[in-house]
Amino acid sequence: EAGVAQSPRYKIIEKRQSVAFWCNPISGHATLYWYQQILGQGPKLLIQFQNNGVVDDSQLPKDRFSAERLKGVDSTLKIQPAKLEDSAVYLCASSPHYTGELFFGEGSRLTVL
Amino acid sequence: SQQGEEDPQALSIQEGENATMNCSYKTSINNLQWYRQNSGRGLVHLILIRSNEREKHSGRLRVTLDTSKKSSSLLITASRAADTASYFCARNYGGATNKLIFGTGTLLAVQP
């Protein structure tokens, strides 16, 4: 079974530029998550989708971050404009069950200069 | 904060020794999960323990849950150098979203 795919793995941008991350969850997984992990910290939930509907986006900085999940499968996370403090690893995860274990991708490491 | 605490923040042991990590939480949970993260990689699920369970085992891993103390522990027995990683507990508080809240983790270093 293929795992959660994320791209790009690494991205370096200047502040105020924009960036987009892509995630392809495990086939059949209805729930998809985006987490932000700053160096030395635990993952922080940004947004949670159930199929293509948003379940929770309470910690998503909506003035600069946006996310969508088209047709309940792939998802993209966009940051525009980026700030220095957005430097982090952006982790995508999916789950077959609403309350079950999460399967994570390898993450997309963003450096904002 | 719903996160609670994890301790220790860092732990260094010799191969063959046991490692214990602790996780606390502040309000009732639906389940609690433990994950491992190797440096530069994504998180890997280890064990899920439900609120009505007290102990679960998986290979060299043993997880306990004490709901009266709102705490959980992860024990790794006979540790190996390959166990070197960060370990996170994640709390599922149920409710409308069932979102999973991660703590700050324990960095385990197993010296060969």
The CATH code for residues B6-111 is 2.60.40.10
Which chain B residue is nearest to residue A97, measuring alpha carbons?
B98
Cβ neighbors of B14 (< 8 A, separation 6 or more) are B110, B111
Is B102 in contact with A44 (Cβ distance < 8 A)?
yes
Domain boundaries defined on chain B: 6-111
Residue pLDDT, tens place only, A57-99: 999 999 999 999 988 899 999 999 999 999 999 999 999 876 7
Facing A42 at nearest CB: one of B48, B88, B94 = B88
Task: Please report, rounded to a whole number, the percentage of residues in chain A having pLDDT higher than 90.
Answer: 83
pLDDT for res B3: 58
What pLDDT, on the 0 to 100 scale, is given for residue A95? Answer: 92
Judged against a pLDDT cut of 70, whether residue A2 lies above it is answered with yes
Average pLDDT over residues B96-111: 89
Q: How many interchain CB pairs under 8 A, A with B?
A: 55
Domains located in chain A, CATH noted: 5-112 (2.60.40.10)
B13-46: buried (b, 16+ CB within 10 Å) or exposed (e) per residue? beeeeebbbebbbeeebebbbbbbbeeeebbebb
Omega within 30 of 0 (cis) for the link into B112: no
Q: Looking at residue B4, what is its pLDDT?
A: 63
Query: To which H or E segment does residue B79 belong?
Result: none
Residue B8 reports pLDDT greater than 90: yes
Closest chain B residue by Cα to residue A105? B42
Give the number of other CB atoms < 10 A from CB of residue B109.
Answer: 14
Select from B35, B18, B29, B21 the least CA-distant residue to B73: B21
* A49 touches B at CB < 8 Å: no
- Mean residue pLDDT of chain B comes to 92
B20 confidence band (pLDDT: 50, 70, 90): very high
